[in-house]
Amino acid sequence: MKRIFLLFLVLLVGFAGLLVVRTLAFSSRQPAVTLVAPEPFDSLALAGRLAGALKFATISNQDSNAFDAQVFAGFQRYLFDSFPKVHATLAREVVNGYGLLYTWTGSEAALAPIVLLAHQDVVPIEPGTEQKWTEPPFGGVIANGFVWGRGALDDKGSLVGILEAVEHLVAAGVTPRRTVYLAFGFDEEVGGRRGATRIAALLASRHVQPEFVIDEGGVLATGLLPGVSGPVALVGIAEKGYLTAELTAKAAGGHSSMPPGETAVGILAAGIVRLEQHELPRAIRGPTAEMFDHIGPQLPFGQRLVVANRWLFSGLLASRFGRTPYGNAMLRTTTAPTVFQAGVKENVLPSSARALVNFRILPGDSVAGVLAHVRDVVHDARITVNPYQTAVAEPSPVTSVDGEPFQLLARTIRQTIPGVVVTPWLVVAGTDSRHYTTLTPNVLRFVGATIGNDDLRRIHGTDERIGVGDYVNVVRVYVQLLRNAAM
Ligand SMILES: [Zn+2]
């Protein structure tokens, strides 16, 4: 008995030792660099130029007939007037009416070019919420240390920030060794088919193979990750796929005074409930696994031990991390019923009912796999399942974190933002950059804007704004990125 106890004790100590050794060996993936001296910017002048850009209501509507060409033309004239050195030095092409492609030709033709993306369009103001804004959404107001307005974060802060960085470098007399493209679509918020798709196709027709492409999608997050006190730079290395499934249930119609045992509404509702109760499983893999590998070493010892020993704790980690809707979305293909339609009159049984269920597909899952899952879980011959006629997209390829482009961006961020932790990230929404994934394996998604917990609701919501100092950081990151990558 005593020998068994002793053996158990030895195993226990050995096991604990293994966990600790793995934790201690879980070393930092942060590149060691020193901070560069911040570029001396006139932050109020920068903020003023961004605020001016927010006065143009360059709204993307689902109905493309509502496109306001005059507003976009006015916005582009404003860019022309505000950034004279950019427009005197870079070639500017208009693609498909309102897409903008700038070319800053490099001195060494053998070097692969880089492409900086942003989009000109913004989402509309939700009707009825106009009065809830602290400052008018298209007023271009600077107040209390913020630039207020629709587009401050998504995505004019990025677009104007890129132009500001190039204007600054041209003024400093710098010329790039690599060619730098700036590509600004005008319909990202409705899929990018008229803007980014056409610019990417133009570059492809010219056999442009970029070293990397950088777009929006990741930010500087504060307070989003428990256990990490400083800012965390979330660099999107992939984005989720997109599928909407259309489910149609058929049943006998007729008078509601004599209903059958099952109705079209009930059959379809039961199918939807089964889908919600049997989601695709959570998994820590791909970009999310890379994120844990980068953030884990920066955590306090207890949390680090859990992340370092995922062979044992992955279930615990996934259930803890997946408690928030955002964390859950990073761990699985999500299931979101968005439309449910049936019936036209209160006393008539509908002979069919229809629902739309939106899926955001985790890298590693696929459109075909999700459709098979839906048919399998619904498991009712009276319900037909088809892909709905909107943009269907497989998950994007995953950019390597060991490749030079990711490492160069990580060094850039660490040189520019004090105390930052850089991590790969999975973008759970879509960006224009997915139209460029056939041009290069290195698609990065990051803008150096600071986002706290309070700010997530502002993107596409009320009171979108960016701190003046945070906007200066956006420009500083672009300046340093251009210096590191192209000079
Ligand atoms: Zn955007």
Going from the Cα of 91 to the center of ligand 1, the distance in angstroms, rounded, reads 25
Q: Output the six-digit token pair for 451.
A: 């986002």
Q: What is the pTM of this model?
A: 0.93
Return mean pLDDT, the chain: 94
pLDDT (tens digit per residue) in 207-253: 999 999 999 999 999 887 777 888 999 999 999 999 999 999 999 88
What is the band of 38 on the pLDDT scale with cuts at 50, 70, 90? confident
Query: Please, which residues have CB within 8 angstroms of residue 282's CB and are 6 or more apart in sequence?
Result: 318, 319, 322, 328, 331, 332
Position 278 scores a pLDDT of 97
What is the band of 1 on the pLDDT scale with cuts at 50, 70, 90? low
pLDDT at 15 over 90: no
Which amino acid is located at 77 in the chain? Answer: R
Active site residues: 121, 188
Quick check: 270 and 423 in contact, CB under 8 A?
A: no
Taking residue 138's Cβ as centre, other Cβ atoms within 10 Å add up to 19
pLDDT (tens digit per residue) in 184-207: 999 999 999 999 999 999 999 999
Segment 248-269 shows an average pLDDT of 91
**Which among 456, 455, 476, 445 has a CA at the least distance from the CA of 119?**
445
Segment 99-128 shows an average pLDDT of 96
Position 72 scores a pLDDT of 97
Going from the Cα of 217 to the center of ligand 1, the distance in angstroms, rounded, reads 7
pLDDT at 64 over 80: no
Position 39 scores a pLDDT of 85
Taking residue 107's Cβ as centre, other Cβ atoms within 10 Å add up to 10
pLDDT (tens digit per residue) in 45-58: 999 999 999 999 99
Lowest mean pLDDT segment, chosen from 102-111, 168-177, 304-313 = 304-313
pLDDT at 390 over 80: no
Position 471 scores a pLDDT of 97
Segment 105-125 shows an average pLDDT of 97
Going from the Cα of 392 to the center of ligand 1, the distance in angstroms, rounded, reads 19
Going from the Cα of 261 to the center of ligand 1, the distance in angstroms, rounded, reads 48
d(CA 237, CA 290): 10
pLDDT at 414 over 80: yes
